[in-house]
Amino acid sequence: MSATEHHEKILIEDAARLALLQGKPQQAYQLLTDALTRFPRFAVAYFLLSRIAYDFKNHLKEVEMLLGAHHLEPDNLEFIVYLARAQVLIGNSTYAHELLTRAEYLYGHTAEMHDLMGVTYNRLCMYQQAAACFEKSIQCNGSNAAVFFNLASTLKFCGDFAGARNAYERAITLKPDYFKAHAALTSLGGITAQQNHITRLRELLEKTGNSDDSLCIAHALSKELEALKQWDDAITVLKGAKQQKSTQLNYDFSRDQSIFNKLAGFYLAKTKRTQNGFVNNRPIFVAGMPRTGTTLVERIISSHSKVASGGELYNFSIALKRLIGSVNSEFIAADFIDSFARMDFNVLGKAYIESTDYLAGDKPFLVDKLPLNILYAGLIMEALPAAKVICLDRNPLDTIVSNYRQLFSFQDFTFAYSLDLEHAAHYYLEFRKLADLLLTLYPGNFYRANYEALVSNPEEEIGKLLDFCELPWEEACLHIEKNDKPVATASAVQVRQPITASGIGQWQRYSNHLEPVIKILGEAGLRANN
């Protein structure tokens, strides 16, 4: 390359980066695509185009651009690390893991590179490796509050609660209005009348400037009030913030109603289908509505010597969207279901299995515990006819109240029902009808586990679970507190304790607020103790 060409490329790169910083992606895009017509081996141009694709959530295009950059400069650490993240986002988890492994042995890691590797390891559910990367990032630059937050969350998943607490506090020290960190810190528990953050949280709630921040702080404050048994105050705090977020989203339950109706229609047409799925008995899916005991069941099964833990994997939904060519960021949408009947189930099942190979290791079984996979459960059993699906069933009022009290991500509409108690009640009823249907249509692959029975009589119920999974009895499955595998759910603290029935009937603390919900359930023929 001549000096003139080199100089011209630098000018183009600088101009494109400046345009991106100024929020002018179209200008940067034009500069870079024009440059590639003149300099087809301009690796940085491909890389910067990948950043534009990422910002527009076009991850297939992002991968295409990164592969172009990587091909031209195969040892460029930055290209490899960004490519690893992009591969995860399109479902190529095994390849992403290979890229990260290669990146570990290259030189030139910066704080940003360590952090991005940590984020990608987190997406791969490899939390110990992620924590190590975040710690290295902090060693390079200890002033980034977001990295401390990432480290804290990962240490929590790994069971290091003291380390997580310290890292969350460091994040808050660096950024006092780090609302997500305040909410996450409270989730670690340990709140007493003498040791709490209630005054600080009330002050922050008054200062919040948008619905997401208000929701974070309201949930944190609510949990601390609950810890002090101030039940009415706790739920009252939530109502204002949740109503604000619901109004912003303009949520309408008819959207979810349409999804449930279409799912039922597709699953009822099961007998008309002739194509076969991919036969592999490795996956054990644990699903159901959130906060119903899915993590408990995952910890029980993953305590078995023959079972690996995958955590909450989005691999199936990612593989599905990739096959139908959708760039929709929603977990599920009505138009996805229109494509189910035209899908090659064998290809879908195989894609899922290949994407989880790196997690299974030498274990014959792998638990995938993503609660809302219940929506895909019928499709999962079509694509993977030897797979097992365990669906959790919990008292309806405990389920509804627990969903309302949980802080979910609202990047899409997946959990929008949880912003209102009555919407959550209607969602529960649709979920229950769907589970009934799946149990009827797939009796050999689908098992409904009752949370109350499980925690009240664990030995007998665990025996039934293991029989369904075709696993021999192991005493370790009774003692989930000894399971040291990472767990990345809202129950990360609770499930490191022995099995307990203390979660039964918690809805009664909030009974003053549940009259409309009880009416909705009653009209559907359900009583509080159903």
pLDDT of 412: 82
Tokens of 6: 């080199």
Mean pLDDT, range 403-418, rounded to an integer? 92
Q: Tell me: the pLDDT tens digits for 123-174?
A: 999 999 999 999 999 999 999 999 999 999 999 999 999 999 999 999 999 9
| 319 to 62, 281, 316, 324, 331: CA distances (angstroms) | 17, 18, 5, 9, 12
pTM above 0.85, yes or no: yes
The answer, yes or no, to whether residue 78 has pLDDT greater than 60, is yes
Q: Which residues contact 205 (CB under 8 A, 6 or more apart)?
A: 214, 217, 218, 221, 237, 241
Under the banding of pLDDT at 50, 70 and 90, the label for residue 275 is confident
The 10 Å Cβ neighbour count of residue 101 is 12
Under the banding of pLDDT at 50, 70 and 90, the label for residue 364 is very high
pLDDT of 329: 83
Q: How far apart are CA 110 and CA 146, in angstroms?
A: 15
Mean pLDDT, range 334-340, rounded to an integer? 92
For each of the domains in the chain, give its residue range(s) and CATH number, in order of start: 177-249 (no CATH), 253-523 (3.40.50.300)
Residue with tokens 């499955």: 477
pLDDT of 201: 96
Task: Please check whether residue 217 is in contact with residue 208, taking contact to mean a CB–CB distance below 8 angstroms.
Answer: yes
pLDDT of 87: 95
Checking 113-120 for CB contacts under 8 A at 24+ apart, the result is 113/77, 113/78, 113/81, 114/140, 115/144, 115/146, 115/147, 115/150, 116/81, 116/82, 116/85, 117/81, 117/84, 118/147, 118/150, 118/151, 118/154, 119/85, 119/150, 120/81, 120/84, 120/85, 120/88, 120/96
Q: How far apart are CA 372 and CA 172, in angstroms?
A: 32
* Beta pairing partners, 391: 287, 448
* Beta pairing partners, 446: 389
Under the banding of pLDDT at 50, 70 and 90, the label for residue 529 is low
Q: Tell me: the pLDDT tens digits for 431-475?
A: 999 999 999 999 999 999 999 999 999 999 999 999 999 999 999
Task: Quickly list H helices, 469-514.
Answer: none
* Beta-strand runs (E) in 247-327: 283-287, 307-311
Q: Taking Cα atoms as reference points, which of 239, 241, 185, 236 lies closest to residue 215?
A: 241
Under the banding of pLDDT at 50, 70 and 90, the label for residue 312 is very high
pLDDT of 530: 62
Q: Which residues of 312-343 are buried (b: 16+ CB within 10 A; e: fewer)?
A: bbbbbbbbbbbbeeeeeebbbbbebbeebeeb
Q: Tell me: the pLDDT tens digits for 176-225?
A: 999 999 999 999 989 999 999 999 999 999 988 899 999 999 999 999 99
In this structure, of 271-285, 349-363, 377-391, 419-433, the range with the lowest mean pLDDT score is 271-285
Q: Tell me: the pLDDT tens digits for 366-402?
A: 999 999 999 999 999 999 999 999 999 999 999 999 9
Helix axes 421-441 and 396-404, enclosed angle (nearest 10): 130
138 or 502, greater pLDDT: 138
Q: Tell me: the pLDDT tens digits for 85-101?
A: 999 999 899 999 999 99
> Average per-residue pLDDT in the chain?
94
Under the banding of pLDDT at 50, 70 and 90, the label for residue 498 is confident
Under the banding of pLDDT at 50, 70 and 90, the label for residue 489 is low
Under the banding of pLDDT at 50, 70 and 90, the label for residue 274 is confident
Task: Please check whether residue 278 is in contact with residue 384, taking contact to mean a CB–CB distance below 8 angstroms.
Answer: yes
Identify the DSSP state of 511.
G
The answer, yes or no, to whether residue 496 has pLDDT greater than 80, is no
Q: What is the DSSP string of 138-190?
A: HHH-TT-HHHHHHHHHHHHHTT-HHHHHHHHHHHHHH-TT-HHHHHHHHTT--
Dihedral sign computed on CA atoms, order 427, 431, 437, 440 = negative
Task: Please check whether residue 189 is in contact with residue 216, taking contact to mean a CB–CB distance below 8 angstroms.
Answer: no
Residue with tokens 């509505």: 289
Query: Considering just the CA atoms, what is the radius of gyration of the chain in Å?
Result: 24
Under the banding of pLDDT at 50, 70 and 90, the label for residue 284 is very high
Give me the half-sphere count of Cα atoms (radius 13 Å) on the Cβ side of residue 353.
20
| 366 to 319, 369, 387: CA distances (angstroms) | 17, 10, 10
Identify the DSSP state of 136.
H
The answer, yes or no, to whether residue 75 has pLDDT greater than 60, is yes
Mean pLDDT, range 25-39, rounded to an integer? 95
| High-pLDDT (> 70) share of the chain, % | 97
